[in-house]
Amino acid sequence: MNIKILKKLSQFERDYYFGKVLLLAMVLGVLLGLASILFYILLDSVKYLALESLIHYSDMPPSGQSPVFHRESNSTIRWLFFIVPALGGLISGWIVYRFAPTAEGHGTEAAIAAYHSHEGRIPVRVPLVKAITSSLIIGTGGSGGKEGPIAQIGAGIGSTLAEILRLSPRERRVLLMSGVGAGIGAVFHSPLAGALFASEVLYREMEFEYEILVPVIISSVMAYSIFTIRFHWSSLFTTPVMKFVHPLELIPYLILAVGISCAAFLFVNIFEYTKSFFQRLAIPKYLRVGLGGFLAGVIAYFVPETVATSYQMLQKAFDSLQPSDMWFLFLFGFLKMFSTSFTIGSGGSAGIFGPSIVIGGTIGGGIGLALQHIFGDIIYDPRSYVLVGMAGFFSTAANTPLSTVVMVSEITGNYSLLVPSIWVCIISFLLFRKATVYDSQRANHLDSPIHTGEFMEDILKKLSIQDYLQSCPREVKFFSPSTSLREMIDVFTASDQVAFPVIDEEGRCLGVVESAVLRRIIREEKSLESIIVAQDIMDHPKTVVPSQSIFEVIKLFIHLQLEEVLIVDEERPERMIGIISRRDLVDFYDKEMSHFLQR
């Protein structure tokens, strides 16, 4: 009966938890949709003032996203690239390190670290500081994307909402990553991919955090729907008709996978080396960010297309790709690696996904043009290598092959290249699976501190009372209904048993005498020793059956504050077949874990 009550309570708790989390995910999605609109407007405003008005350089958004301000084509004042990105870096760096140091760098990294190591907590000030500083970095010409900032903004809002409502660490972590997925799903016009990315990016191996997947999808859909009230219901990029029509084209795509994964591996190493270089500089941290902006500005002086998100390079490649573009695409991709590393590696607040898909797309386009020269008509359209290169590059750099395939398909509105995209992403992921731009990623679920208890829980659910009876048989001391108090005391003092079954002549368990009752009688009512027998002081027994899991029994122990329970036959509950205590549970678990580790 006790176990049935516990099961009903457990089911109610699960239903209540799931309903509450889904409701909060919807609320969070609305908040993130509004926050994404405000962030986009703020970023475009800074970009208009710094790049458009001062430098006269127009960083055009992709065709699927309308700018807040009208862009005009003017003659670029290139020498200002030496000043404006550096100034943006200085101001941004000072704000970050003065008010919210955790807002430095690419925000997705901070969200991953908070999920695994900080119970899903992100300081309340981070969303606002991240929005301002990222707008300054990207808007003044630093090479970075919007996904990192909006991911940390979303994570911060989710964490803050959980704090206000005093939710548990588990619920806080769910809202944290729901905010990440909602923000990315909104600004990249990719609600499904945003949710998958938030679930996949937590681990280096190909694993998803399934517990958060449904809430993240809900919040991502809500955020995207709100975001598109102000901006377009469309894919981020407009792409031509590109198809996978010839199975032999898997061969050049295999070459693309090798080339693009090598490029991603190079980028990860450049990024890590640059980050290490800036960390070793004995100067104030905000000056490091300013120096990073200056170095990015130097590159922009020679190749202005490397500033900010550089999405116009991908849109141009989709619109028209000529053989003469090949070497410039390679050069641009290489320079964008350094520009991004200088901007973010110095501590600049910007995202790494945007630059990664730009680098992957341009290098992929260059490889596609080269392969067309070799394979001829087998290459249906070299522009398809831009799209597949985008996916392959980031799947290697971030260890997120599946969500990246969906992400690139959604932001381009092209699903005809799913086969080569999956082919390239999986191969790229397998070639350099240890390389990642996210240092806080854990190898797998077992490597994450939050799942250590779940791992133990899974083992305990697989072990049953029947396993215990077979592995750790134990002699049970019991009384008959007429056992005298003196006999009971003698057995009690010579045994470490806590509960003593009372068994009649027919083998039926009538009740149980608890050691606590015997202690009280010895202390207070010893004068009744000659008239008390077992049936006078027995209580109704707490029982379990062999088919129950060890996990259920532990919950029963905790819920009812028990030390020992009787094990009874399922068909004949009045027949006792054993006894199990808290100490027995610990010894049995240790024994099973020892066997598990020796396999």
**Is 17 inside a domain boundary?**
no
Exposure letters 408-431 (e unless 16+ CB within 10 A, then b): bbbbbebebbbebbbbbbbbbbeb
CATH of the domain at 552: 3.10.580.10
Co-location of 563 and 589 in the same domain = yes
DSSP characters over 383-434: THHHHHHHHHHHHHHHT-HHHHHHHHHHHHT--TTHHHHHHHHHHHHHHTTT
**Is 264 inside a domain boundary?**
yes
**Is 396 inside a domain boundary?**
yes
As to burial, measured by CB atoms within 10 angstroms (0-12 exposed, 13-18 middle, 19+ buried), residue 6 is middle
Torsion of CA 103, 104, 108, 113, to 10 degrees: -80
**Is 183 inside a domain boundary?**
yes
Co-location of 392 and 424 in the same domain = yes
Domain count, the chain: 2
Co-location of 128 and 175 in the same domain = yes
Co-location of 446 and 543 in the same domain = no
Co-location of 93 and 145 in the same domain = yes
Element (H, E) at 112: helix 107-117
Decide: helix, strand or coil at residue 145.
Answer: strand
CATH of the domain at 146: 1.10.3080.10
**Is 272 inside a domain boundary?**
yes
Nearest to 240 by CA among 339, 319, 333, 170: 319
Query: What's the whole-model pTM score?
Result: 0.78
Co-location of 537 and 408 in the same domain = no
**Is 15 inside a domain boundary?**
no
Co-location of 434 and 565 in the same domain = no
pLDDT, tens only, 490-531: 888 888 888 888 888 888 888 888 888 878 877 776 666 667
Co-location of 270 and 401 in the same domain = yes
What residues make up the domain containing 180?
22-450
**Is 456 inside a domain boundary?**
no
Element (H, E) at 543: strand 543-544
Q: Cβ–Cβ contacts within 10 Å for residue 433, how many?
A: 15
Boundary (domain end) residue, out of 422, 450, 478: 450
Boundary (domain end) residue, out of 418, 450, 482: 450
Co-location of 481 and 437 in the same domain = no
Co-location of 446 and 467 in the same domain = no
Exposure letters 546-585 (e unless 16+ CB within 10 A, then b): bebbbbbbebbbeeeebebbbbbeeeeeeebbbbbbbebb
pLDDT at 367: 94
pLDDT at 320: 86
**Is 457 inside a domain boundary?**
no
Co-location of 427 and 500 in the same domain = no
Boundary (domain end) residue, out of 428, 450, 472: 450
> What are the residue ranges in the chain where pLDDT is below 70?
1-16, 64, 69-73, 452-455, 525-530, 596-599
Co-location of 485 and 439 in the same domain = no
pLDDT, tens only, 532-583: 787 888 888 888 888 888 888 888 888 878 888 888 888 888 888 888 888 8
305: Cβ–Cβ under 8 A, 6 or more apart, which residues? 312, 313, 332
